Structure 1
Amino acid sequence: MTNNLGSVFQKSAIGLGKRKRAVARVFIIPGQGNLIINKTPGEKYLQYNTTYLSNIWIPLEKLNLDKQFDIVALVKGGGLTGQTEAIQLGVARLLCQMEKQNRTILKPLGLLTRDARIKERKKYGLRKARKAPQYSKR
């Protein structure tokens, strides 16, 4: 299975999606609507969470392509929510690469917008990014 997927990956375009600390490399292959994340079935990887699963398929559903393609994603970093949103962005970007008309449909829905909110760094003299030690007057 890995040899077959490897050859497909080299030929096809890659959709890159990021969210918080999660980075997803997404590939779309003609198929029956299967989802594979890190060489595991998508349902199992996302712990059978219907919200996560439906979020990934939104870009394909809006273009009426939901049962024509398989999604293969290689994800690292972050948690499940960040990873699913990264995969969703990767799928949307890849669909725009495949056909330029898709951009006019996906852009107004906000599916091509990168959510830039990331964790703020800790500053010296503070306990966390913004939490300060209790002020004592005397």
Structure 2
Amino acid sequence: MSTELIKTRAIYSGTGRRKCSVAQVRLVPGSGNLIINGIPGESYLQFSPNYLRVSYAPLQVLGLLNQYDVHVNARGGGLTGQADAIRLGVARALCSINPENRTTLKSEGYLTRDPRVKERKKYGLKKARKAPQFSKR
């Protein structure tokens, strides 16, 4: 009987959240492709250079841009929230690869979850803070 050795590829994962968006990120050794919900990242993020730059930022800082493929399952919110959630997920996954990456990513602010969320609407007001028009007489 011959035993076949099954090569297991190292998969590193991290979860990022921002506003109402959640991104589950998996880093696989590869050539630097970004795939979001089964769609290439460039077309999913509507070819916006800002969203792409934000998503790739942790890899760019560490100089690992073309060494890992990024597979993302993103849901909720809009493109800005999803792009920032992807950035946080990638940063957390990079910390699981090598704990020494943590100091660099922490100093750049990529490991901090942005706590800003939409403020709720209050009764008696039109929006969260906008009051109805005031008439003196």
Question: Does TM, normalized by the shorter one, top 0.5?
Answer: yes
More helix by share: 1
Taking every aligned residue pair, what percent have the same amino acid on both sides? 57
Query: Structure 1, unaligned stretches of length 5 or more?
Result: 1-6
Amino acid at match of 1:20: K
Partner Cα separation in structure 2 for residue 132 and residue 58 of structure 1: 40
Match of 2:93 in 1: 94
Q: Normalising by structure 1, what TM-score?
A: 0.88
Deviation at 1:45, TM superposition (A): 0.5
Match of 2:4 in 1: none
Larger Rg: 2
Query: Structure 2, unaligned stretches of length 5 or more?
Result: 1-7
1:77 is the counterpart of 2:83: no
Partner Cα separation in structure 2 for residue 94 and residue 126 of structure 1: 43
For residue 125 of structure 1, give the secondary structure of its aligned residue in structure 2.
coil
Match of 2:123 in 1: 124
Partner Cα separation in structure 2 for residue 37 and residue 106 of structure 1: 22
RMSD between aligned residues? 1.6
- 1:46-65 CA deviation, whole Å, 9 max, x = no partner? 11111111211110111111
Deviation at 1:13, TM superposition (A): 4.3
Deviation at 1:122, TM superposition (A): 0.7
Aligned length in residues:
130
Q: Normalising by structure 2, what TM-score?
A: 0.88
